[in-house]
Amino acid sequence: MQYVTEGNTGLKVSRIAIGTMTFGKYNDEKACFRIMDMARDYGINYLDTGNLYGGGVGFKGRVEEMLGRYFKQGGDRRESFVLNTKCFQPMEYAPDGPNDAMGLSAFKIYRSLEASLKRMQTDHVEMYTTHHCEEDTNWDEIYGAYETIIGQGKTYYIGSSNYGARHIVEAKYEAKKRNFLGFIAEQHRYSLFCRLPELEVLPACRKMGIAFNSYAPLAGGFLTENALDPKPGTRGAGHSIYSDSLGTWNEGENRNRLLRLKALADELGETMATVALAWQFNNPNVSSVICGCRTPEQLESTVHALDVKLEPEVMKKLDEIFPGPGGSAPEAYIGW
């Protein structure tokens, strides 16, 4: 397994992170436990979850509860992982009333963490991440709460997710004012179909010493053979239009790109998913890739992709098939 340090810290995490957002939705608990055990065998030590995960209204927190049952089996299962969970979204907990709304008040941070720890049957998480940027609550309150839970040993590090470049820079500036480490990692949507982060977010993370961890690396299953030949009941099946942060791509454009990706993958003797994942693993600006494996076979394929080296000419072909913004701003702006 390959490991990287998480941002400007001494924490070492695997380049593959096990994402749990779909746990229980497309597989059963036994399969989820098998995937996590296999991850340990492969040396994967990064496990990502969120208090929201579980399947929608009435099921929020269900994945954390599943992890709690997994950890309770013992055998160093809990100790083997750098565990990350998140807060920000409403959790449908009636006693919290209006304070259950989206946000990062001290009330929300403390209450959400305590509930997550209880569900996962642990006394701490190695990383605690805000699921979305907060522009209404002041930084003294946000960082004051984070400093407290770090001081209590309930988390060691904090991270962000879905932050814009301006939020990342502001967060680091506010942390520096307090002589506080602040966020050490940003989780962001990134794939061959969603390359907008290259314009601002990736450069901001690199400049601020913050790890960039990508999620949805296969665009919700769209960068797989299943997108060309959908099978009923599988994730990503039936999507004739895929919308991402670059806009909506019509079916004809999508299919043409996917057919070209399939041809390139066949030429390399790999699957479309393997090439799409390898494209990320071959990018030195991507620290870890959060992979939502539904089956043990998918985990095996993901581990294989980590060792697939893409030559410069292959990376160039992928740029031609899935053009990004042309680099970082302002150099990427045409005519400048």
For the annotated catalytic residues, the residue numbers are 53
Q: What is the 3-class SS of 271-312, one letter each residue?
A: CHHHHHHHHHHCCCCCCEEEECCCCHHHHHHHHHHHCCCCCH
Q: How far is CA 171 from the centre of its chain?
A: 19
Dist CA 296 CA 125 (whole Å)? 25
DSSP state of 219: G
Q: What radius of gyration do the chain's Cα atoms show?
A: 20
Strand partners, 4: 13
CA distances from 251 to 27, 227, 228, 244, 257 (A): 29, 11, 11, 13, 10
Tell me the H-state helices in the chain.
29-42, 62-72, 106-120, 139-151, 165-177, 201-208, 225-228, 251-268, 272-281, 296-306, 312-321
DSSP secondary-structure letter at 198? Answer: G
Distance CA 57, CA 202 (A): 33
Phi, psi of 102 (to 5 degrees): -60, 140
How many residues comprise the chain? Answer: 336
From CA 324, how far away is CA 252, in angstroms rounded? 19
Closest CA to 123 of 79, 159, 76: 79
